[in-house]
Structure 1
Amino acid sequence: MGSGMSKRVRAPRQESRPEPERQNRSRAVSELLPAIGGAAFRKFGFVQSSIVSRWPEIVGEKWAGASAPESIRFPPGQKSAGVLTLTVRGAHAPMMQHVAPEIIERVNRFFGYAAVAKLTIRQGEVATWRVPAAPPSERPVPPELGNELKGIADPELRAVLESLAAGVAATRGLPKIG
C-alpha cells in the first residue's frame, strides 16, 4: 500500500425502503371535496370554511341577512387575535358597528377560542341566506324512534333525523352495490 495507491472503500449497501401505498384508488367525491373547498377558503383567508356555511347559525338570521363573512386575517405565525372582515349591506353598516362586540363573541364561541379580536366592515352586496326546507319523508318512521324524535325542537334537524330513521328501518340485510 505504500506505492501511493489507496484502497477503495465501498459504502455499505442501503436497504431498500418499502414502496409507499399507492393513492390513486377510486375515491368518493365527498372524500375529495373538503380538501378542495378547504384550499379555496384558506386562499381567501378562511381557516375553517364552516364559518361561511354556518354564518346564519353563528350570528342569527337577522344579521346574516345583512352581512356575510369575507375573510379572517391572523397576525403572522398565529391563529388567534385575528381580524374578521364582513361584507355588509350599506344601510346596515352602522347597526353592525354597534353589535360588533357581540358578533366577535359569537364567532369566538363558535371557534372555541379567541380567534377574532377585531371586526372590520366593508359595504357591499350580500347574498341572501336561505335554509333549505327538508324534503318530506316518503317512508314511515318506526314508532319506537318517532316518539323520541318528537322532543327535538329544531324542525329541520327533526325532519333530517326522521328521514334517516325511516331509511335505516327500510333497509333489510346488507347493502347492494351494483
Structure 2
Amino acid sequence: MAKPAARLVNAVLDPVLAKRAGLSMALVDAWPEIAGARIADCSCPLKINWPRRTHEDDPFEPGVLVVAADAMAALHIQHQAGEIVSRINAFMGFQAIARVKLVQKTVTPAPPPERRARPLTDAEKGRIDALANDFDDEDLREAVRRLGRSVIAERPRH
C-alpha cells in the first residue's frame, strides 16, 4: 500500500528536527490551529530552547519556543503569548513550553494546497447535462454545466 509522501518526509525529518531544534513536524503542521490562521500566515515556529540540565536528577523545566514572525504577527503573538503557550502545552500533552520568544523577520506564507478535481463518470456527466437541458438560454445552460462539473468533481466518489 502506498504511503503519502508527507508521512515519509516527516518520518525522516522529525528525528533531525527533534535533535537539532527540539521541534517536531507535528507542531509545525498544527501551527495554524495553535496560533490562528491569520497569525500563522506571517509566522512559524523555529525551535524550542530547552534549559540545560547540569545533572540528570535535575527537575524538568519547560522550554522556550522561538517563533519567527513579521512585525504585525509579532505584535499579535506578544499579546496572545499566554494563550499560545497554553495551546502548545495542550497539543504536546504536558507543560513543554514556558514562554514564547519572538524573532522578527519576514515569513513567506505557505502556498495553498493545489486542489485537483477528479474526472467525472459518464453517469455524472449525463446527470449534469440532463439538468442543464431544462434551460432555454445556451449561455445559462453552459454555465450550469460548468458549475455542476466543478461541484461534483470536488466530491469524493461513493
TM normalised by structure 1 equals 0.54
- 1:11-30 matches, within 5 Å, as none
Gaps of 5+ in 2: 54-58, 122-153
Change (3 A) 1:80 1:138: farther
Instruction: State the Cα RMSD in Å.
Output: 3.0
Q: Separation in 2 of the partners of 1:113 and 1:137?
A: 42
- Partner residue of 2:52 out of 66, 76, 79: 76
Amino acid at match of 2:36: G
Return the index of the structure with the highest Cα Rg. 1
TM normalised by structure 2 equals 0.60
SS, match of residue 44 in structure 1: helix
> Which residue of the partner structure matches residue 77 of structure 2?
96
Report which of the two has the higher share of helix: 2
- TM-fit CA distance, 1:90: 2.2
- Taking only the aligned residue pairs, the percentage that are identical comes to 27
- Partner residue of 1:39 out of 1, 8, 15: 15
- TM-fit CA distance, 1:124: 0.5
Does the aligned pair in 2 maintain the 1:79–1:115 contact within 8 Å?
A: no
Which segments of structure 1 move beyond 4 Å, counting only runs of 4 or more?
28-32, 77-80
- 1:119-158 matches, within 5 Å, as 119-138=100-119
Q: Separation in 1 of the partners of 2:23 and 2:76?
A: 27
Amino acid at match of 1:45: A
- Bigger RCO of structures 1 and 2 (CA < 8 A, at least 6 apart): 2
- TM-fit CA distance, 1:55: 1.3
Gaps of 5+ in 1: 1-27, 141-158, 170-178
Q: Separation in 1 of the partners of 2:4 and 2:117?
A: 26
> Which residue of the partner structure matches residue 89 of structure 2?
108
Q: Separation in 1 of the partners of 2:23 and 2:103?
A: 20
- TM-fit CA distance, 1:66: 2.2
- TM-fit CA distance, 1:38: 1.4
Change (3 A) 1:103 1:49: same
